[in-house]
Structure 1
Amino acid sequence: MMKISDTLAKAAEVDSFSYTMGEDLSGMGAPKAPLDGDLDGIRVTARGKAQQNLENPMHTWIPLRGEYLDEFLCLPSVEHCAQLLRSSWYPATPLEPQTSTTFTLMRLFHTINCQGKLPAFDLWKSLEIMTSNRTHSPPPDRYKVLLWTIHQWCHLKQCKWASRGHNPTGIEGTAQGGLALDCPACPLPSKNIPLLGEIKDAKRWLYRHFFATDANFRTRNAIVSTEEKDPSLSDRWAYFVRKGLYMEHIWKHVTEEEISTCSGFTAVFLVNLKNIQGLCTTRMHGERYQCNVDGVIVQALNDVELEVVISYNVICQWGIHFWKRMQEFPDNAQLKITEDALIMCIPKFHIWAHQLECHTRFSFNYLLDAARMHSETIEENWANSNRAAAQTKMLGPSAREDTLDNIFSFHNFKTIESFGCMFTNRIVEAIQEARVHRTDFESFNKGLMRFCGPAAVKMWLESVHAWEKDHSKPCPYEAKLQGKVTLQEVELQLSREEYDTVVRGGGVLAQSSLSTFIFSGIQIEEAQQNLALEVKARAAGTIYQQLNIQKQRKSLGWRIQQFCGLQQLFMLNLHQALMTAKLQYIDGPSSFISKAIKLFMPSELDGDTQRASICGPGIAEAEMRVREAEARDLLQWLRQGLRNRSASHLFTVKNVTGQNPTSCNQGILHNIQMNIYENKLRYPYARNVLNKEDIHAVNEKSLTEEELHDQEHLRDLGLLDSTLEGTAGGSWSIAQLGEGHRRLSWIWYQLGRDDDRPAIHEALHIEWCKACARMLCWEEEVELLNEEMRRVLAYKEWHHSWWMSQLGMRTRISEDLQEGLTAYAYEHAVQDWSCASELKKKWHPLRKLAIELLEGLPITEVYEYEVEEDDISDDVTEEE
């Protein structure tokens, strides 16, 4: 093959053809092409000696807008391909080309494919229909030729934009990531920020790298070819990591099992939704989310030396033993950053599917120096690239990667071009919000100084600083839950107490212990409710389902009889105290429907007097401890089930398509819904037992007048949601969506001195911390946006100088090629310089206002700026 780098540069040389519109060339032996409306025929005549040379006749090419070749284009053999490129025709092969595609068509398809995700097949069929409609005969099949040409064209355009034609090493010298576009707003040492040793510690957070990690389940790839048959033109020089290190790491972990201890791990269940038969790019059998992501992250962060904030929707699982797993990689792949320099977070929208423990530990809202980062932009990027899933699924592996590289580059380019409007809109909003939240916090803080005293406020500030340094310390943003004991912990406590009794000579049999009796009764109640639910759901079931229900009834009846035996040991006087009608439940359970049999647990007896006469010492108290823990666990499971259902619905809408995946997903959603319903049935019973006995459980009991007044006051302050009353920790322990825009109610500034109660103080402590965090987030956003705008300007100026430095790098080339390379470098250098000048003029007053705000000066002029419209989503962030 000819050297593509030379050919690409020669395409910029002076045109050597003359074009004549509608000229009759029949005298030269060529037929006259018909004209059809505005699709006028274009005749091309060769100039000079080429007219007499018929060595390389060219018979066919793929046109746009009715271009016709009315003669055999005769060119010297050596310069044939180069002269075709100069005439804006791309030959299908550099050796004796018989087919060519016009540059106009290639540019049109390249743009439409990146913007509208139009496949090449649809373009070809459109051209075929247009041609067939005009000639009434099918044109020659050039579809494969068009695919080859488009593949080469897109690759060469990326190389051209990366200035590989100016570099003496040519295309072969391209480094990994060399074709990817730099983000001018991101910190790039020696390009738009100082070198690592020159960065001041006080401002080091401004140079953080923000990385967002996510898995894309839509852009699958069928096994239609191999890399040997479809070789890559770029060897992953843009946005894909090289396969060597990645696949080597994957095959080491093909037998590992996935482990999830957090319900937010919704994405993992997608493995059950995928029909992976015939696919080569999907969640391959045996691969696990940890090793897949590790293989990508280790290459993406390999050269990073600054602090990194990395987000992932399951980072609470992936981050466990991350640094231990990094030791498995070779020395040349080890990360250069330390463990303290890697900060892990969960994207703001995804965090609501996680357990409460994750809501503060991995939240961007409470991360120091994170500004207003939300880390959901990667989802927006998937929404753009997923539209290409249909065309990339049936492409060869290399063609698919090159197609996605083009789509990613196009999207990044449009994002960079939108920086002018995007940063203007953002900094206007940030300055306004920072001013408002600073005023609110100062007023709130002044009131708290009078109400709680400076010492309390100082202690709150110290608790925030201590938690930011060490997350193992109490979190100041969530309520402290007193007495939160799980069901398993209560069971362990009872077992230890029974063991101590045995050691002291109490003599309790292990098989008939108190804890065994109580937990057996609770488990039977749960089984009764599940059986009732099963009978209701399978009312018209099959023979197999009815047989299964009958087996459950039989098993449950046997368990009830066993429980009645234990009951005679711990509730000796039960027979004498109950009426004859009630004794039928105990003496003859086989004659009743097992799901309706009453167990007569201590809590079901009437009054303390009857309970004391029937139950042994400590039995009623032990059951209440178990009931309280059961109610807490049920409420927690119910909350978690609701989060799972919401997250699963959103995940389904975004990712699940097709009959087979939808059917599998419905089964998963059904199981989640059944768990919610079971807990919904069990929780009211446990709660009613506690309320009946006036037992403090899940923040509820028969409240005193003072406690009722406390709750009413918290509700007036907006701290207690009536729909969440009685929940552990209250509603203020959970951050809400839109937390950064939330403002304090006027009532916060009217605190009286008579509200000196612990519940009020704890609520004020939490709200003060959140108000402070909101103020700091917006001020950090202003400072970070100002720095990013500075980096954009610095990068444009650096890039201008970089293009100028490309001049004269290649010496042993022709004058025509040197002229083309020089013109191209000057063109891009001027574009960068003009862009920098325009943005500097546009952003100067806004950056001045930002600096005034950060220095504490009054800000008023910002409201005169109007938000500008932009064709790129306002949610695009500076993440890498």
Structure 2
Amino acid sequence: MYLDQLIQLEGRGEYQVDGRCIICGVAPGEYRCCGCFTDDLYCKECIVVTHRDIPLHGVEMWNDGKFDRTTLKALGLRIQLGHGKPNKARLCQGRCANPQRAVDDDFVVIDVHGIREVALDFCACETVQPHDIQLLRARWYPCTGKHPRTAATFKVLRRFHLTTLESHCAVKGFYMSIARESDNTGTVPQDRYDELLRMTREWRHLEMLKRAARGHDPAGVEATQAGECALLCPACPQPGKNLPPDWKEAPKSRRFLYALFLALDANFRMRRKKVSSEEKDLSLGDGWSFYCEIAPYYSYLTKNWKQKQERSTCVAHDAVDKPDRESRGTASSGIATVDCARHNMKRPNSVGDLQLGERYINMDYIFFIGLARSEISELFVSYDIACQWHKNIWERMKTFDREVRFVRGKKFCVFLIPKFHLPAHIEACNIFFSFRLTRYVGMTDGEAPERGWSMLNPLASSTVEMGPGMRRDTINDAFNNMNHKKILGLRKAMLDKLGDCVPELITASTELEELETSLRNLGAGATLEEWRVEMEAWEDDAKNSNPFASKREHKRVADVRRELAEEDAAEDDDDKVVVAEEMHATEWIGMGVQLEELQRTLGFDIGKIGNHPTAEQQTNLTERGNKLRRKLLTWMDAQALFIPHVAVSRAEEDRERKRISATQVQPGVQVQHITLWLPSAIIDHVPCDKELYEYEFRLREAQAHEALADIRHQLLLRTHLYKYKDRFVRGVKANSRSQTKIEGVEERTRRATERYQAAWRALKGLGRHMGPLLTEDVRGMPRALFQDPERKKLLMKKGPAAREKAKQARDEAKARMSWIWRGPGVEEEEGGMNEALRIEWAKTRARFLRQCEQLDLLEEEMRRILQFLRWRADRWEQRAGQCPQAPEDDADRVPGVVYAPKHAAYAEGNKYCARAHSSLRRCGPTLRTSSRWGEQ
């Protein structure tokens, strides 16, 4: 049925019988309009008359049983510019006494629905205006200012602008879609692609100037200042726009509310090939928005190009060690930006092209130039290689002009690494550059640029082929669009952040309270106060001892083995006992501990498979067992040389095994059950060299501490996984995947527990007493107990008895703490506390303080947004009065009268943000009191 209707509409439709003109009713109706709502048929004269005000519609002519395309120009319609009645469109309302035809009477208009050839008359009488002005008043944009032969309607330019911002469509594809809509039979209309390319670029530039109120400045567009056309972030501190008059006098504890959070990053997908040049393709507004001014930028790079870049002292960062990556055959290997870290908005004059990767000279320039005119004194700077970049930055700053440099002592910078990038750095960076551990940053993560690249990267396929000027204009326009969308979404974003912050703050407060209650119940109140004093001292001066860093690190097994190997290498005693193939005693002991771990691993894997393994699993286990048995036999041969008397113990074991095997269905001993008889196991009945006891003692002590650290890590990870599963995981598939991860953590915890038990038994034999690890000891911190699986099952049970047990478990969780969080040999340590517990308390306190700061920052940002919008509304109203006045006979040309009030009214759309801010101001004091704000 639908197909029949579509086919019928290709013909005369309902006018098969009576084919007269719908207007005059006399002449035959042979023409119809493709743009009008109806399919009425017109005669030639009537369709021309009815389309004088809509001259860009496409028309068709009935010819030989079908409709053929034609034009209104071919039917005799002429368009007159420059004349019209008041308040009417200045097209065909009046005729000119002295019309002047377009050049060769050949004029093309690009519209939304097609490319039209029109018969155009310009006005040439006493009220004449330049041809390009006449076109603009008709809402047609001229391709050139002198003898124009092509124009594009404002509609098509707006359509392309929005289309390319949302779908990243190139001009070529957009133009071809319009050309095919004009005629999809292969007959190509006059090529106006280059003209459209030029007009879209100029249109974007003019729109930027219009929205930046540059047309309202009596000094003209030439007076535009650097970065003035970039949309600013309303939530960031903008002196003179959204800050209170006394913001510079804020106490030290409140200065962070007026700090600027910045994030640097580079994007290597936004490359540009060696196409055109700076001389041939200039920016239309160099330095007026997000890109820094090009000439000074290149001058600085040329002057400092040979500046040396230090090698990384952290992990191998390609951005540091390989700054010239992906730069071959390109004029620009990417772009670098400085963003607002909390609201993900681009900053004025803080974008620059890269030439040889992410070099410091590029990043330094956009950082310092973007802040050259800023009055903000507190800066939190995020960069994924901040640990390296911040070194010598103040020395490199001296290469800039005096007006760009920071005045030391008046600006305070804190350098940090984004949260997602931080785990890839060394341990020291995870402490000294962490957002989570740094005061006054709230819940900022520093990953803002990474989120923004997802909106920009689709442009890479277009900009890679552009000249330098057009590419910068395109990227500037994209950044203005990104900022515009972020501003529109600020209301929802602020409310969402507030909705996340309040419950997280309450949770963090509860966790800290539970932990501190447990510590006080253990008699550690005085120690807790000492920790608090140490923490506050470090927060006031980072030169003091960092409470998040371990002051007494326990050595790992690998460290001890390395030390023993170095001692062997330095040993010059010719009487040193050495066995076959240069195996020293330290190597033999280390290999024995390693073989013991392989036995445990094999036993775990066998138990995990169960009684019915597959053929492949059985083959794998058998091969592993055979390899391990051969290693054990080789190790036992060496053992006979180091401890000859162990042969007696092994012979007795063999006799007992033979006696037992006589009763077994499959005689023999499994390889994972073979006793190794290390020195710690025979200390009471077999003589052995004291050095062997010492070597094993050092390895076992490291093994015990390493296993405990692994257990603590796995327990904390289990807590996180349970909390994540409870809050975010929904559905059978997602729950199954999450449960699999939790089971993996449980298995690793069991393996670490077995490893500790082995080390404990050995150390007990060697004379060092450490606490036995019971099943009930392997539990999380007090705050983690509420997420343990046993705890969850207990809380889910119903009935009086279950509620009583749940209450007892809750009280127990607050009162008792497993000794693993206090360390082995706790009674030997001052105050009964170890560093792991101190660091965990410091991190728990940091989580609470970050949420407190987040709430403070959100309240201040909401206030700033409202004040910024009021400032912007007032500014537009002032601009309306500053606009150059037009003559009285042309009063409708006064832009300020019609455009400035439109922007001034935009501030009213954020009333919901105002309500949220008002509510937060009312409930904030109560929330802070209930969250022990003042105490911290």
Smaller-chain TM-score bracket = 0.5 to 0.7
Distance 2:688 2:566 in 1: 23
Q: Counterpart of 2:201? A: 151
% identical equivalent positions: 25
Structure 2 distance, partners of 1:334, 1:206, is 24
2:449 aligns to what SS in structure 1?
A: helix
Q: Cα deviations across residues 247-297 of structure 1 (Å, max 9, x unaligned)?
A: 344442447456223337366688697373245334977555333322221
The equivalent of 2:364 in structure 1 is 294
CA contact (8 A) 1:264 1:353 kept: no
Aligned residue identity for 1:23? V
In the alignment, what sits opposite 1:830? 904
Equivalent residue number for residue 875 of structure 2: 802
419-428 vs 624-633, which moves further: 624-633
Which amino acid in structure 1 is aligned with residue 313 of structure 2? T
* Contact map agreement 1:264 1:355 (CA 8 A) in 2: no
Q: Is the 8 Å Cα contact of residues 40 and 65 (structure 1) preserved in structure 2?
A: no
Aligned twin of 2:220? 170
Query: 1:364 offset after TM fit, Å?
Result: 1.7
Shift of 1:450: 3.8
Residue in 1 aligned with 2:123? Answer: 75
Deviation per CA, 1:230-252: give whole Å up to 9, x if none: 11111132111223444344442
**Structure 1, unaligned runs of 5 or more:** 1-19, 510-514, 526-567, 580-601, 641-679, 723-744, 860-880
Q: Specify whether residues 819 and 145 from structure 1 end up closer, same or farther in structure 2 by C-alpha distance, changes over 3 A only.
A: closer
User: Which has the larger displacement, 124-133 or 467-476?
Assistant: 467-476
Aligned residue for 1:389? 460
Distance 2:449 2:762 in 1: 51
Counterpart of 2:443 in structure 1 is 372
1:59 alignment partner in structure 2: 107
* Superposition pairs of residues 456-855 of structure 1, within 5 angstroms: 456-471=527-542, 473-477=544-548, 481-484=552-555, 618=691, 621=694, 691=759, 694=762, 704-705=771-772, 707-708=773-774, 711-714=777-780, 718=784, 747=810, 750-752=813-815, 758-759=822-823, 761-762=833-834, 764-811=837-884, 814-815=887-888, 816=890, 819-835=893-909, 837=911, 839-841=913-915, 843-854=917-928
Distance 1:636 1:314, change over 3 A: farther
- Is the 1:210–1:309 contact (alpha carbons within 8 Å) kept by the matching residues of 2? yes
Measured after TM superposition, the shift of residue 131 of structure 1 is 1.9
Q: 1:691-724 deviations in whole A, cap 9, x for unaligned?
A: 599369xxxx99643x5478425478748999xx
Alignment of structure 1 residues 133-212 onto 2, 5 Å? 133=184, 137-195=187-245, 198-201=248-251, 202-212=253-263
Q: CA deviation at 1:32?
A: 11
Counterparts of 1:304-453 in structure 2 under 5 Å?
A: 304=374, 305-336=376-407, 338=409, 341-442=412-513, 444-453=515-524
* Matches of 2:930 and 2:51, distance apart in 1: 81
- By how many angstroms is 1:126 displaced? 0.8
* Residues 78-133 of structure 1: per-residue CA shift (max 9 Å, x gap): 52111111111111111111111110000011011111111111101111222232
Pairing 1:45–2:115 present: no
Residue 277 of structure 1, aligned match among 303, 313, 329:
329
Tell me the alpha carbon deviations over residues 747-798 of structure 1, each in whole angstroms, 9 at most, x when there is no partner: 5863447978843844554444333333322222222111111111111111
Query: In structure 1, what is the Cα distance between the partners aligned to 2:401 and 2:143?
Result: 43
CA contact 1:209–1:309 (8 Å) conserved in 2: yes
Letter in 2 for 1:45: Q
* 1:201-252 residue CA offsets vs partner (Å, 9 max, x unmatched): 2422111111111111211111111111111111132111223444344442
Structure 2 equivalent of residue 235 of structure 1: 286
Counting strand residues as a fraction of each chain, which structure ranks higher? 2
- Give, in whole Å, the separation in 2 of the partners of 1:764 and 1:715: 9
One-letter amino acid of the structure 2 residue matched with residue 805 of structure 1: Q
Higher normalized contact order (CA 8 Å, seq sep 6+, divided by chain length): 1
* 322-331 or 798-807: bigger deviation: 322-331
Instruction: Choose 361-370 or 252-261, whichever is displaced more.
Output: 252-261
Distance 1:139 1:572 in 2: 96
Question: Aligned-residue CA RMSD in angstroms?
Answer: 5.4
How much does 1:326 deviate?
2.0
Paired letter, 1:34: V
- Does the CA contact (< 8 Å) of 1:254 and 1:287 recur in 2? no
Q: CA-to-partner distance for each residue in 1:274-328, whole Å, 9 max, x for gaps?
A: 3732453349775553333222211122233320111112222222232232233
Q: Take 1:857 and 1:626, find their aligned partners in 2: how far apart are those partners?
A: 46
| Cα distance in 1 for residues equivalent to 2:816 and 2:688 | 51
Q: CA 1:287 to 1:373, structure 2 compared with 1: closer, same or farther past 3 Å? A: closer
Shift of 1:62: 1.5
Give 1:154's aligned amino acid: R
Q: State the secondary structure of the residue aligned to 1:365.
A: coil
In structure 2, distance between residues paired with 1:255 and 1:858:
51
- 8 Å CA contact retained: 2:217, 2:879: yes
Q: Which amino acid aligns with 1:787?
A: E
Say if 1:842 and 1:703 are closer, same or farther in 2 by CA, change over 3 A.
Answer: closer
Contact in 2 for aligned 1:804/1:825 (Cα 8 Å): no
1:505-552: CA deviation from partner (whole Å, max 9, x where unpaired): x9999xxxxx99789999999xxxxxxxxxxxxxxxxxxxxxxxxxxx
Determine the structure 1 residue equivalent to 2:311: 259
Residues 24 and 32 in structure 1, CA contact (< 8 A), matched pair in contact too: no
What count of residue pairs does the alignment treat as equivalent?
A: 709
Contact 1:487-1:630 at 8 Å conserved across structures? no
3-state DSSP of counterpart to 2:328 = coil
- Does the residue aligned with 2:536 lie in a helix, a strand or coil? helix
Offset at residue 618 of structure 1 (A): 4.5
Q: Is the 8 A contact 2:110 2:151 kept in 1?
A: yes
Give the Cα separation in 2 of the matches to 1:520 and 1:246.
60
Distance 2:781 2:881 in 1: 73
Taking the aligned partners of 1:496 and 1:121, their CA distance within structure 2 comes to 72
Matches of 1:702 and 1:721, distance apart in 2: 32
Secondary structure at 1:849 match in 2: helix
1:478/1:35 CA distance change after superposition, 3 Å: farther
Mapped contact 1:40–1:67 kept (Cα < 8 A): no
Q: CA 1:129 to 1:713, structure 2 compared with 1: closer, same or farther past 3 Å?
A: closer
Q: 1:857 to 1:298 in 2, by over 3 A?
A: closer
Structure 2 Cα separation of the partners of residues 393 and 636 of structure 1? 50
- Label 1:176 to 1:768 Cα distance change in 2 as closer, same or farther (>3 A): same
Distance 1:197 1:765 in 2: 36
Which segments of 5 or more consecutive residues in structure 2 lack a partner in the other structure? 1-44, 62-66, 84-94, 336-353, 577-581, 593-637, 649-675, 714-747, 789-807, 824-831
Mark the CA change 1:822 to 1:468 in structure 2 (over 3 Å): closer, same or farther.
same
> Which structure features the higher share of helix residues?
1
Residues 35 and 380 of structure 1: CA distance in aligned 2, closer, same or farther (over 3 Å):
farther
Q: Is the 8 A contact 2:681 2:762 kept in 1?
A: no
Residue 354 of structure 1, CA deviation = 2.2
